[in-house]
Chain A
Amino acid sequence: MGYTNNRDPQRVINLMQRALKKFKPKKVKAIKKGDPDQRYNPKPPTGGLVLRVRAKILSGYEPTENKWKKIFQSSISRDNLWLTQKEHSQLVKGEFPEKLAQRLARFHLVDNTRGEPPMWRKKEIKNIKIDLKKGRLTGKAHLETEKKNRGYQADLLGVVETKGGKVTRLDIVAKGLFWGEGTYTRNAPKGKFPLVVSFELADGKDVADAVPPQGSRGWVPGYLNN
């Protein structure tokens, strides 16, 4: 009935209005669901946790009058971080698992505010140290490419609360200086700029909570066992 690959809201509205004029309601049956191919329908690990992850650049952009650039320059990104059942249990015990620290750094301390970012390779993790003591989480991260053209150095601070053997609160903030950009995240601020990344427990009420982490695309085991 209609199609557009343009993101301009007015063009999308025009498309919908044209389609609605053509639309003639008729009785249709719901298509019966078959068995989904799990390769294309990954679910969070049973007994694990999902964290909402958001990032924002605080400053550093050149002023612009371009309406699209303005949107990207003030955007807050969204992704999800998955934790395994074992990691959930370790957090309840008051430990912050090393694998989780590595995953958090590689796939979530990224600048995804202008599009899909390059994730960090293992060797680009210069340092990631996260300590959990009596529910207080502190940490430091240093990520940098070999060419030194992209990097992030940040401090982390957070709080973990548990009840009845389950994590009931897991809030983390990472703040530091980021530099560089990726193929699909062009037009980053020049030089080093402040980037904040926040984490919070997902409760499943947001439809986006069900979306697999970007870093898990095509290979969930690789993401979880990084």
Chain B
Amino acid sequence: MNALALFKKYSIILLAIGCISVFLHAEPSSPSGLTVEEFKKYHKELQPTGKEAWLSIPWKISLLDGQKVAGEEKKPLFIWAMDGHPLGCT
């Protein structure tokens, strides 16, 4: 088999494998410059781990809801307030 015939044979197989892998892949393929691996990595990396201490506090974002619970549980109110966006100070 000459080089051209070999190329034709294997390029068809590679093309078929490529098509199947794209078809089976549930994640995005990209002409954007970001790879699928990067997409998965960073999307996961930017998730909270669930171990953050502040996540263990049952925050209320309504003052009245907090006041109601404080009254029911006979506890003082702790208010964390700022003059900017509540999520803006990271």
Query: Dominant SS at the B interface?
Result: loop
CB proximity to B under 8 Å, residues A156-207: 156-159, 171, 173, 175, 184, 196, 198, 200, 207
In the complex, the answer to whether A31 meets B32 with C-beta atoms within 8 Å is no
Q: Is the CB of A76 within 8 A of B42?
A: no
Q: Is A140 an interface residue (CB 8 A)?
A: yes
Contact across chains for A23 and B43 when beta carbons are under 8 A apart:
no
Type the 1/0 row for A25-48, where 1 means its CB is closer than 8 Å to any CB of B: 111111101000000000000000
**Contact between A29 and B85, CB atoms less than 8 A apart:** no
For this complex, into which size category does the number of interface residues on chain B fall? 35 or more
Main secondary structure of the interface of A (DSSP, over half): mixed
- Kindly count the residue-residue contacts between A and B in the assembled complex, taking CB atoms under 8 Å apart: 117
Q: Are B38 and A207 in contact (CB under 8 A)?
A: no
Q: B90 touching A155 by the CB < 8 A rule?
A: no
Interface size class of A (residues with CB under 8 A): 35 or more
Mask, B39-71, CB within 8 Å of A = 1, is 100110111100000000001110010011011
B28 and A138 contact, CB distance less than 8 A: yes
**Which B residues are within 8 Å of any A CB, using their own CB?**
26-34, 36, 38-39, 42-43, 45-48, 59-61, 64, 67-68, 70-72, 74-76, 78, 84-90
Chain A interface (Cβ < 8 Å from any Cβ of B): 1, 16, 19-20, 23, 25-31, 33, 54-56, 72, 75-80, 112-116, 135-140, 155-159, 171, 173, 175, 184, 196, 198, 200, 207-208, 210-211, 214, 217
